[in-house]
Amino acid sequence: MKTWRILAGVAVAAIIAIASAAHISRAAVKRHQSTALNSGRAQFSSAKNNLARRTTSTQPMGTWTTPEDTLDVEIHAALVYTGKVLMFGILQGAPDPPPLWTPAKLYDPIANTLTDVSTIFPADIVCGGQSILPNGDVIVTGGTIIPTVTGGGGLVNTTLFHPASETWSQSGPMNYPRWYPTNVELGNGQTLVLSGHDQTGITSVVQMETYDQTTGTWTVLPSTADDPDPGPEFLYPRMDVIPSGNVFKSAPAKQGNLFNPTTNKWSAVAQMNFGDRYYTGHVLIPGTSQVMVVGGTPTNADGGGDTPTATTETIDLSKAPPHYVYGASLNYARYNHMLLFLADGSLIVVGGNQGPGHYAAPVFAAEIYSFATQQWSVMASQQGVRAYHSVAVLLPDGRVFSAGSTSGNTWGTGQPTYNHYFEIFSPPYLYNGARPTITSSPATISYGQPFTITTPDADNISSVALVMPAADTHADDMQQRYVPLRFTVGTGSLTASAPTNGNVAPPGYYMLVIVNNNGVPSVMPFVQLPLT
């Protein structure tokens, strides 16, 4: 693979300017070549050094880098175990019909380079589902029929991205075509896929299937497992595996349902107080059986109607019977936003819009939620619209990558409508003194077993956790998880206890983080919890 690492900012700027001005991204960046970018890394590093020993953040709203070009419009993103961001979407300018392959990029946040890894298959995998297998490969389910039938329609394709070789392959096809399905990794490492429209682009698939990475094949579950909310509007259902091993479906349908993968049966749980929530964020609250939903809109009509909500609700599935309770509201009502874990276990909301429709009234300010204070705090605003078809991913260095949206540049003049730029957010914790460092940590750990983290900051650590990387599209992260670990303090080291089983932390690659008593997280190395 040929890689360009350009150190001189002037040369970088010139290359970017040429590529942007000519609008010939595919020609300028050939498949599997890389382009260096001019990012805010140097600024970030010097800021960190200057702020050592301070106890409160000097940037309490965080900072955003200036927009830089990914050369495509990114609709899907996943952080892979090499520390790079896999992104795929559509060509800028959105030719209609789109090509019979999918433009994809790998972003390396350390080298600040983009590598073209576009697929070579005659399939458009955009608007499929995606998650990460226990072996670290990204699995994309379905995609979009080209040429479109009724604006779309589902594919049976199973497409894998291999981070080690940075190549794609196709695996055994699904039994049902799917467009806008959800993937969720079960505690046993199998990938469950549900929902999505079939080839008609109108009817939702009710059957659920599971994928086994060792055989590369799909198995249709018995009809008792059929989707209890098969309405054609309930696409990309929000799913979380809870510590019992059951899988909770929180949205968009207001009726919460719990799926038991052992009995292959669903049970109705409770309804959201708000009603249906479309384009909402969802997370499993760390260390609990509680699922939290954030923002959204009560209707799917015309891409989200015109009634965004700032409300949040949480349901504790360990209670009998469980019920939803309203929590602190966002400062800005929004839908189409991304809801992510930060490295310290707090939450961040990025982007979204207030409507009507998929893009109108974008929200530029991020917000961070502290589980300790149970409050949302307004963060700095980014420049780009991040509404429908946008993505965001937590990076191993604790920053947040934000890209995409199939409409909306707001800076400059003469910019194309489709947003092919990215921006990176540095949260306040990166301006709050020196970071703790992990000197060494294992490449693999085993369920229920202790492991050693070498750090010169052992005496000043408040928490240790595993962070499952994000893999998201359409305002739905299908992969992320934050798993706090018990630990003891030694001399120059910590001894942490790995999660007890796959229901708490499904097998796969995680980022390992230590957070100091000043709330500052370390850079996060990857560690694998292998399939047993």
Contact 126, 135 (CB under 8 A): no
Q: Per rule CB under 5 A, is residue 125 in the interface with Cu ion?
A: no
Give the number of other CB atoms < 10 A from CB of residue 486.
Answer: 10
- Choose the binding region for Cu ion from 120-128, 261-269, 494-502, 518-526 (rule: CB under 5 A): 120-128
Residue closer to Cu ion by CB (options 101, 447) is: 101
Backbone angles phi, psi at 27, to 5 degrees: -70, -40
Q: How far from 190 is each of 22, 140, 281, 464, CA to CA, in Å?
A: 45, 14, 23, 27
Cβ contacts of 258 within 8 Å, gap of 6 or more? 246, 247, 248, 249, 266, 267, 269, 317
∠ CA(452), CA(496), CA(394), 5° rounding?
Answer: 100
- Choose the binding region for Cu ion from 121-129, 256-264, 289-297, 408-416 (rule: CB under 5 A): 121-129
Residue closer to Cu ion by CB (options 6, 127) is: 127
Residue closer to Cu ion by CB (options 155, 315) is: 155
- Reduce the secondary structure of 230-272 to three states and give it as a string: CCCCCCCCEEEECCCCCEEEEECCCEEEEEECCCCEEEEEEEC
- Choose the binding region for Cu ion from 119-127, 171-179, 278-286, 367-375 (rule: CB under 5 A): 119-127
Residue, CB closest to Cu ion: 127
Residue 88 CB, shortest distance to Cu ion, in Å, is: 12
Residue 303 CB, shortest distance to Cu ion, in Å, is: 11
Phi-psi region of 51 (alpha: psi -120 to 50; beta: other; left: phi over 0): alpha
Q: How far from 426 is each of 66, 213, 385, 435, CA to CA, in Å?
A: 12, 35, 18, 13
- Choose the binding region for Cu ion from 65-73, 125-133, 278-286, 343-351 (rule: CB under 5 A): 125-133
Residue 357 CB, shortest distance to Cu ion, in Å, is: 14
Residue 474 CB, shortest distance to Cu ion, in Å, is: 6
- Choose the binding region for Cu ion from 122-130, 251-259, 276-284, 433-441 (rule: CB under 5 A): 122-130
Q: Per rule CB under 5 A, is residue 146 in the interface with Cu ion?
A: no
- Choose the binding region for Cu ion from 66-74, 103-111, 127-135, 440-448 (rule: CB under 5 A): 127-135
Q: How deeply is 321 buried, as exposed, middle or buried, from its count of CB atoms within 10 A (0-12, 13-18, 19+)?
A: exposed
Residue 389 CB, shortest distance to Cu ion, in Å, is: 6
Residue 254 CB, shortest distance to Cu ion, in Å, is: 23
Residue 31 CB, shortest distance to Cu ion, in Å, is: 24
Q: Per rule CB under 5 A, is residue 127 in the interface with Cu ion?
A: yes
Q: How deeply is 2 buried, as exposed, middle or buried, from its count of CB atoms within 10 A (0-12, 13-18, 19+)?
A: exposed
Half-sphere exposure of 325 (CA within 13 A, CB side): 9
224-243 mask for Cu ion (x: CB under 5 A)? --------------------
Residue 180 CB, shortest distance to Cu ion, in Å, is: 7
412-451 mask for Cu ion (x: CB under 5 A)? ----------------------------------------
Cβ contacts of 477 within 8 Å, gap of 6 or more? 281, 282, 283, 338, 339, 340, 470, 471
Residue closer to Cu ion by CB (options 181, 469) is: 181
Site of interaction with Cu ion (CB under 5 A): 127
